[in-house]
Structure 1
Amino acid sequence: MQVRDASTADWDRIWPFFEAIVRAGDSYAYPLDLDSDAARALWMERPPGRTTVAVDADGTVLGSAKMGPNRPGRGAHVATASFMVDPDARRSGVGRALGEDMIAWVGAQGFRGIQFNAVVETNTAAVRLWRDLGFEVVGTVPAAFDHATLGLVGLHVMYKPLG
């Protein structure tokens, strides 16, 4: 598996799993009626941000991440990121590879920390991965996410200091 910068041509391979993940309603608060163009505008970062893809040996896109400043101006020294792994590629190290790549990139860009603003507390695989990569839950907003099957659940704010 290789993690590389996403190209414009990669969007057509990201969109199918992006749409499936958003429609599942268990990890992203994006609107359910997003079309491909609106989703691309949300996901494909422009500098100073970055979007990546994890691809296997035959070029199949297994997952994607986007990253950049959490806030503009006086908050731009803290990064944020979002991740999506194709459901067919889960439990194969794709999320970890994307996460490790993101941590290395934001560190090289001079960010002082990484803040995830909204990790669904019931997304135990994601919470476990981020904790394993050095993030901690610094707070949980109760009932902030309307989970498709569980109803209102909390959103974790997670943070990892750098340097």
Structure 2
Amino acid sequence: MQIRPAADTDWASIFPFFRAIVDAGETYAYPAALSSDEARALWMGQPRVVVAEDDGRILGSATMGPNRPGRGAHVGTASFMVSEEARGAGVGRALGEHVLAWSRAAGFRAVQFNAVVETNTGAVHLWESLGFRIIGTVPEAFESRTHGFVGLHVMHRFL
């Protein structure tokens, strides 16, 4: 598996798992049923977008950049999506490690995730294993299709 910058032509492979993840209603607060163009603007319009690719197949994608503009730009943030068929194969970990290395090289002092759904225990465990801490939880800030109103963790890691 290699992680490389996303090309415009990768969107056709990213959109199916983007749509499935968003429409499942468990991990992203994006509106359901976004068109391909709407979703593309949200995902591909970030400062840096990468894909995890294996043998020509796009397994996942991550976006990264500053968490805030101006005086908050020294803290990075990122978002991650892994295709259903690639889950459990280390794709999320590889993307997370890439984000940390890129963020460090780009001069960020820390990385902060603003909205990790507390019932997304796989992601919470992964980020904690990569050195992130839960620094707060916004109660009932996310409406999970399965669990109802649940908290959103703010997770942070100094670089």
Partner residue of 2:32? Answer: 32
- Rounded Cα–Cα distance in structure 2 between residues aligned with 1:83 and 1:96: 10
Contact 1:45-1:67 within 8 A present in 2 as well: no
Partner residue of 2:93? Answer: 96
Specify every segment of 5 or more residues in structure 2 that has no aligned partner in the other structure, as ranges: none
Specify every segment of 5 or more residues in structure 1 that has no aligned partner in the other structure, as ranges: none
Partner residue of 1:51? Answer: 49
Q: What's the secondary structure of 1:92's corresponding residue?
A: coil
Task: Report the RMSD for the aligned CA atoms in angstroms.
Answer: 0.7
Is 1:147 the equivalent of 2:137? no
- Rounded Cα–Cα distance in structure 2 between residues aligned with 1:72 and 1:33: 29
Partner residue of 1:76? Answer: 73
Contact 1:83-1:98 within 8 A present in 2 as well: yes
- Rounded Cα–Cα distance in structure 2 between residues aligned with 1:71 and 1:45: 15
Is 1:126 the equivalent of 2:123? yes
How high is the sequence identity, in percent, across the aligned residues? 65
Contact 2:80-2:95 within 8 A present in 1 as well: yes
- Rounded Cα–Cα distance in structure 2 between residues aligned with 1:45 and 1:35: 15
Contact 2:60-2:83 within 8 A present in 1 as well: yes
Deviations 1:107-153 (Å, cap 9, x if unpaired)?
00000100100000000000000000000000000000000011000
Is 1:9 the equivalent of 2:23? no
- Rounded Cα–Cα distance in structure 2 between residues aligned with 1:34 and 1:45: 15
Runs of 4+ in structure 1 displaced over 2 angstroms? none
The CA deviation at 1:33 is 2.7
- Rounded Cα–Cα distance in structure 1 between residues aligned with 2:45 and 2:49: 6
Is 1:116 the equivalent of 2:113? yes
Q: What's the secondary structure of 2:33's corresponding residue?
A: coil
Query: TM-score, normalising length from structure 1?
Result: 0.96
Contact 2:111-2:158 within 8 A present in 1 as well: yes
The CA deviation at 1:45 is 3.5
Contact 2:59-2:86 within 8 A present in 1 as well: yes
- Rounded Cα–Cα distance in structure 1 between residues aligned with 2:41 and 2:16: 15
- Rounded Cα–Cα distance in structure 2 between residues aligned with 1:78 and 1:34: 29
